[in-house]
């Protein structure tokens, strides 16, 4: 058995993988594959409609917001957000908490003025900045809720005088939050929702159409809303797997239920990191991510033998990003706590062997 701690594409529920495989061969008894049915068919329209309905139900999306399933990945949204929200000559505020936040900032600079209101870059992004002023003349403020590479996460969200745009790619559906606090949320599917190839966007309708610029149809959120995420052929399979994953999540008690599981998994692993003298955390305690647990060895020479032990125990995807080094255990929704305990057991065994 493999224990998949990969940062993304991340682990999917086994039953979802099984259902997806069945859908590839014979989708809902149609005799056709989900890969080959028309996106305009009643069968696929039912999939898309259910996926949208599940997002709204699981996240308690209020009236006045639209849910989109788009191609291109969250990195495309780095550009589409300012394209759709930042007026020419206007200003957007950004909080720089890691690689993805800085890449989003880079794209925004093509469309207007940007202001970095807070950054933790000077400490290699080991904490989340908290005391900063949001400029009231900004079109929006952009944040990244969870930083996969550095293992930090915003444990709460602030109220803002301007629309808040949030990249939730790596912690969407992992915890309860109030959608009404945000103007726009986007998330690549490949962490907690489905396979790579589709990005979910939740946008407050009233913030659109204010830039004064002409936006090409494929890049225009309003066009995509009017087309029901089907202005062109959508990524049907990725949406189907996402729908199945959201069904699975609902059956497990929804977001409140999975949040408690995620808290338990994170606590167990962080407790071992804090207890075991061979390992140490890399980020501020109050900002520790419940999705991506980053840690290093006290003795760097222990890294390769520990990775070898992990491999022997079927633990995969544990090697840290090159920006941080060490190890990164991504404990997304579908990872069972039993896999976390396998990793903890490996850490304790390694300690016993290296006293």
pLDDT by residue (tens digit) across 202-236?
Answer: 999 999 999 999 999 999 999 999 999 999 999 99
**Calpha distance 149→278 (Å, rounded):** 21
The closest of 317, 335, 146 to 258, measured between CA atoms, is 335
pLDDT band at 1 (very low <50, low <70, confident <90, very high): confident
Average pLDDT along the chain: 97
288 forms bridges with which residues in the sheet?
152
The closest of 239, 245, 148 to 192, measured between CA atoms, is 245
The closest of 170, 187, 190 to 290, measured between CA atoms, is 170
Domains defined along the chain, listed by start = 14-251 (3.40.640.10), 253-353 (3.90.1150.10)
* First-last CA distance in the chain: 29
- Confidence (pLDDT) at 173: 98
Please compute the mean of the pLDDT values over residues 90-106 and round it to a whole number: 98
Using the predicted structure, report yes or no on whether residue 279 has a pLDDT greater than 90: yes
pLDDT band at 183 (very low <50, low <70, confident <90, very high): very high
Per the residue annotation, which of 96, 167, 171, 287 is the catalytic one?
Answer: 167
Percent of the chain with pLDDT over 70: 100
Using the predicted structure, report yes or no on whether residue 140 has a pLDDT greater than 90: yes
Radius of gyration in angstroms for the set of CA atoms belonging to the chain, rounded to a whole number: 21
Are 111 and 86 within 8 A, CB to CB? yes
Task: Assess whether 267 carries a catalytic annotation.
Answer: no
**Calpha distance 26→45 (Å, rounded):** 17
H-type alpha helices, the chain: 14-25, 42-58, 74-85, 99-108, 221-226, 236-251, 254-275, 303-312, 337-353
Per the residue annotation, which of 2, 56, 91, 100 is the catalytic one?
Answer: 100
Task: Assess whether 167 carries a catalytic annotation.
Answer: yes
Cβ neighbours around 140 below 10 Å, total: 24
pTM for the model stands at 0.97
**Calpha distance 313→349 (Å, rounded):** 11
Are 132 and 154 within 8 A, CB to CB? no
Percent of the chain with pLDDT over 90: 98
Please compute the mean of the pLDDT values over residues 46-71 and round it to a whole number: 98
**Calpha distance 349→212 (Å, rounded):** 62
User: The tokens 């079109």 sit on which residue?
Assistant: 139
- Confidence (pLDDT) at 323: 83
- Confidence (pLDDT) at 322: 87
- Confidence (pLDDT) at 330: 98
Using the predicted structure, report yes or no on whether residue 256 has a pLDDT greater than 90: yes
Per the residue annotation, which of 109, 121, 181, 191 is the catalytic one?
Answer: 191
pLDDT band at 355 (very low <50, low <70, confident <90, very high): confident
- Confidence (pLDDT) at 270: 98
Pairing between strand 199-204 and 184-188? antiparallel
pLDDT band at 141 (very low <50, low <70, confident <90, very high): very high
Task: Assess whether 248 carries a catalytic annotation.
Answer: no
- Give the contacts of 41 (CB within 8 A, at least 6 positions apart): none
């Amino acid at each position: 058995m493999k224990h998949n701690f990969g940062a993304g594409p991340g682990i999917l529920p086994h039953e979802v993988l099984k259902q997806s495989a069945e859908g590839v061969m014979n989708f809902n008894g149609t005799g056709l594959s989900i890969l080959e049915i028309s996106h305009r068919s009643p069968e696929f329209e039912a999939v898309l409609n259910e996926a949208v309905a599940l997002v709204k139900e699981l996240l308690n999306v209020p009236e006045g917001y639209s849910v989109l399933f788009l191609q291109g990945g969250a990195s495309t949204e780095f550009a589409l957000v300012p394209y759709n929200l930042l007026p020419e000559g206007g200003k957007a505020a950004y909080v720089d908490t890691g690689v993805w936040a800085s890449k989003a900032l880079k794209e925004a600079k093509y469309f207007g003025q940007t202001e970095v209101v807070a950054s933790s870059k000077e400490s290699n992004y080991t904490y989340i900045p908290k005391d900063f002023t949001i400029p009231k003349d900004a079109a929006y403020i952009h944040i990244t809720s969870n930083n996969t590479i550095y293992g930090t996460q915003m444990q709460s969200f602030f109220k803002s005088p301007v629309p808040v745009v949030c990249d939730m790619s790596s912690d969407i559906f992992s915890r309860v939050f109030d959608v009404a606090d945000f103007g726009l949320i986007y998330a690549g599917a490949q962490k907690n929702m489905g396979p790579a190839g589709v990005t979910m966007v939740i946008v407050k309708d009233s913030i659109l159409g204010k830039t004064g610029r002409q936006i090409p149809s494929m890049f225009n959120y309003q066009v995509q809303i009017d087309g029901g995420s089907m202005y062109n052929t959508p990524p049907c399979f990725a949406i189907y797997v996402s729908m199945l994953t959201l069904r699975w999540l609902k059956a497990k008690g929804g977001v409140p239920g999975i949040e408690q599981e995620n808290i338990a998994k994170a606590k167990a692993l962080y407790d071992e990191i804090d207890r075991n003298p061979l390992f140490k955390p890399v980020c501020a305690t109050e900002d520790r991510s419940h999705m991506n647990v980053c840690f290093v060895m006290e003795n760097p020479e222990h890294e390769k033998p520990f990775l070898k032990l992990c491999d022997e125990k079927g633990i995969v995807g544990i090697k840290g990003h090159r920006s941080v080094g060490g190890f990164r255990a991504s404990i997304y929704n579908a990872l069972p706590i039993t896999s976390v305990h396998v990793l903890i057991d490996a850490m304790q065994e390694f300690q016993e062997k290296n006293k």
